[in-house]
Every structure is written in structure tokens, then in C-alpha cells.
Amino acid sequence: MSTVVTDTHSAHDAHDHHDHKPTGIKRWLFTTNHKDIGTMYLWFSFLMFLVGGSMALMIRAELFQPGMQLVDPHFFNQMTTMHGVIMVFGAVMPAFVGLANWMIPLMIGAPDMALPRMNNWSFWILPFAFLILLSSFLMPGGAPAFGWTFYAPLSTTYSTDSTALFVFSMHIMGMSSIMGAINVIVTIMNMRAPGMTYMKMPLFVWTWFITAFLLIAVMPVLAGVVTMVLTDKYFGTFFFDAAGGGDPVLFQHLFWFFGHPEVYIMILPSFGIVSAIIPAFARKPLFGYASMVYATASIAGLSFLVWAHHMFTTGMPTFASLFFMYMTMLIAVPTGVKVFNWVTTMWRGAMTFETPMLFAIAFVVLFTIGGLSGIMLAITPVDYQYHDTYFVVAHFHYVLVSGAVFSIMAAAYYWLPKWSGVMYDDFLSKLHFWASLISVNILFFPMHFVGLAGMPRRIPDYALQFADINAIVSVGGFLFGFSQLIFLAVVVKAALKKGEPAPAKPWEGAEGLEWTVPSPAPYHTFDVPPQVK
């Protein structure tokens, strides 16, 4: 009898995994499918992008004109802190992890990520981390108000009790990042299709492979420094308190030893995305594949030797200042190699300007502007003028907004037809691009000028001579913020399958190059891994 029962089920089971596929909420809670987990990461990061963005709009509303009008200074400091933490750990990093989850198995011909249950866990602890962080608004004294860099003694001696929640949520985010990174490394090292050597991997896979090693190296440093903040505040230690023999500058060394590689964690996957999109729409192979791999690895290595360029004004020895100045300038070399290779890939290509390509080209131009202001900040003697002004804010937002965020949008538009099965709304996507491009420059470019004129960052009021430019900047901020609702509309429309069905090759003529390997790859669909001989 049992054989009969088994047989009746076998045809049904051929489609389902073993016994059943959970549906509804269970599908998302218990899923070990890399596509589902990638989707959850992407939606979560977009939600956090909107939350963190609304905090930025509160900051810009206060700064629209001089004087205090909307919020009290303490709440303003809470906004700057939470905006930074949420955008870095809640928006940019989970978006890249989501893209890694979705695309790495497909690009290397693996059936899934290597550690699927850990994959599920590394996502599901994230919403709780941010719930803990956001709940600090409900505590007496409110949310943390010491900047996303949480410098001691602001975070130890002068902070409210919400510091404990901040530290706890940072630990959980760090656990999530480390598990995600281990998963990426194990998957790439052990699950590539036969014949896919390391130097045949698409550049997105390479950049994530290198990023994952960076994550594993620096996340424990962050865990250590937040724990020292916790014990200084609650358990009577004196790591960062000169009264007990500690040193607040030690905090900065530890934090930036994590913090500088962290900013490369937030840009290296962007390089991989742009290296996939530009060849596809220029219709020629990526120029200098091997040099791109080596440049990425060099950037990652050098990122550990530049942390104190954030600390030129702390009074370090001249030798140390010079060392960090030259190391920082050295990073411009492999970065320049990358920009050169992207431009050369486009040179005399048969380019078309679909939305992903528009975002990728904007990325190259605007990221380069951010890189040039970075070289200015690297020059020790003039950094005394730039330090802690809006010039720094302009610099890192060019790299992280028109850099990392634009590349994430490029990736979303590029792969959305594959993910959703429908072509997204072309008019709305182009509207989103142009609205974002124009507003992001109205928002961040004028900041260079108020910064050079000496306007300090993170202060809720300012001198009268900065009023006009701040009004312009705030208008740009609101335009940029509301432009992102167009993106939401495009994605929701595609998710609801409203649109033309996507063809097997959504980017006709570009498809042969979608796996960016040194020579045009064999034909493929995303469901069947490429057969590499």
C-alpha cells in the first residue's frame, strides 16, 4: 500500500522541494531560497532608505534658513546620527547583500548559496536590529545623538541611556554582515560551475568576493569598539577617558580602522555592477578585465592603511600625517584604473542609453567628482581647512549617493526584467533618473562652497552668509527625496507584473556580454547556468 501512496505523490514532488513549499508568510519567514532572501534584503534596504531619507529631509528642513525653527538642537543631533547609521547599515549594505544573494549563484552557475539556513538567519536578525535602534526614540532622552561615528566622549560620558540599545543593535548588524560575508566566500570558492576559473568570474562576483573578506576583517573591530563604549559608559572602564588613563583618540583609531574599509565595502560592489552594465550597453567586452580584478584587490588592501586621514587634526606626528596622506593618494591609482577602463569600454562602443546605462554613466562621472574631492581632503595641511565642514559632507555624499545608491538603482533596473518577468515602465524609470540626477547635484554640489567658506557640519544653525546656498541645497534635498517615490512606483508596478512580458534577452544585442568575462560568453538564460568548456 505504501508504495502506491508514494507513487501518487512522486509526480507532484518532482516540482516541489521534497514535501511542500510553504506559502504566504511562512514562505518568507522560513525560506532558504537565495532569490527570496535577496528580494527581502532589497525591500528591507529600500524601506530603510526611505526612513533614513525622511530623517535627512528633517535635517534639510531645519537648515532651509538660519535660526532655530522646527526642531530643538538635541533632536537635530539625533537626526544626523540616525540618518547616518540607517543609511550605511540599513540601506546601502543590505541592498548590496540582496544583490549578492540574487545574482552570485546565477552568475557562477550554483544552485543556491552555500549556507542557505544561515542565509535566512542573517537576513531575519536585521529587522530586529533596526527595531531596537528605532525604539531608542521612545526612551527618556531620545535616540543616540552623537553622530554615526559615535566619538567618545560624546558616546560615553555625554550620552543618554539609549547608547545601550545602539550598541546592541550594532552587534546584531555586525553578526548579520559577517554571516553574509562567510556565505559569499564559501559559495564563490566551492560552488562555481565546472570550468569557471577565478579569472573567468563576472566582475560583480569578484568585487563581492573581495568585499566579503573586508567585512570579515573589520566587523570584529567595530564589535570591539562598541563594546568598549558600552563598558566605559556602564561598567566603569576608562578606555576612552583621560581621567582614568584612557585616550579619546584611541576611539578614533579603532573606529576608523573599521570605518575606512567600511566605506570601500559600500563602493566595491558598485564597481562590479557598473562593470557588468557598461559592457552590456556599449556592446563590447569590458576593457582590461584582469586589471579591474587587481585594482579592486589593491583598493581593498590599501583601505587598511589610510584610516588616520580622518584624524589629521588630532595632532599626530608629521611622519604619520605624511604616511597617511601618501597612502590615501595611492588609492587614487587603482580607482583611476577602473574609471579609465569604464571609459575605454564605452569608447567607440555601439552604445544605447537605457535606464541602467544612464545610471551607470552618471555613477562614473559623479563618483569621479567625489574621488577628486577625496584627493583634496587627503592633503594634510589643507585638511585643517576642510575638516568637519560641509566640504566633507559633499565629498562623501558624492561617493555614497551618486556613487553607491546610483549603482544600486542601475542594478535594480538592469536585473528587474529577470527578477520580475516583466519590462518596467520605461517613461517612469527615465523620469526617475533625470529627477534624481538633477536634484542630487542641486543637493550636494553647493555644499562644497559653503564648506570651503567654513560652514561646520552637524550644527543646526549657521551664520547668515550661508543662507542662500542652504536654501538651494534644501530644495534639492526635497526634490531628490520625493524623486525616489517614482522608483517605488516602477518597482511596485513590476512586482505586480504590470508591464510587457520580459523577453529571454531583455537587453537585445547586449546579452552575449551579460556575463562579463574576458571573451563573449556562451548563450544562457538565468535559470540554466552558463556551460563553460
In terms of Cα–Cα distance, which of 514, 341, 327, 298 is closest to 417?
514
How far apart, in whole angstroms, are the C-alpha atoms of residue 517 and residue 531?
13
147 — alpha (psi -120 to 50), left (phi > 0) or beta? left
516583466: which residue's cell?
A: 422
Beta strands in 208-292 (DSSP E): none
Residue 416 CB contacts under 8 Å (≥ 6 apart), including other chains: 424, 491, 494
Residue 91 one-letter amino acid: A
Active centre residues (catalytic): 83, 112, 148, 176-177, 260, 262, 264, 275, 309-310, 335, 338, 457
Phi, psi of 456 (to 5 degrees): -75, 150
Please name the amino acid found at residue 52. G
Contact 319, 290 (CB under 8 A): no
142, 146, 148, 153 alpha-carbon torsion, rounded to 10°:
-140
SS3 state of residue 17: coil
User: What would the DSSP string read from start to end of 450-498?
Assistant: HHHTTPBTT-S---GGGHHHHHHHHHHHHHHHHHHHHHHHHHHHHHTT-
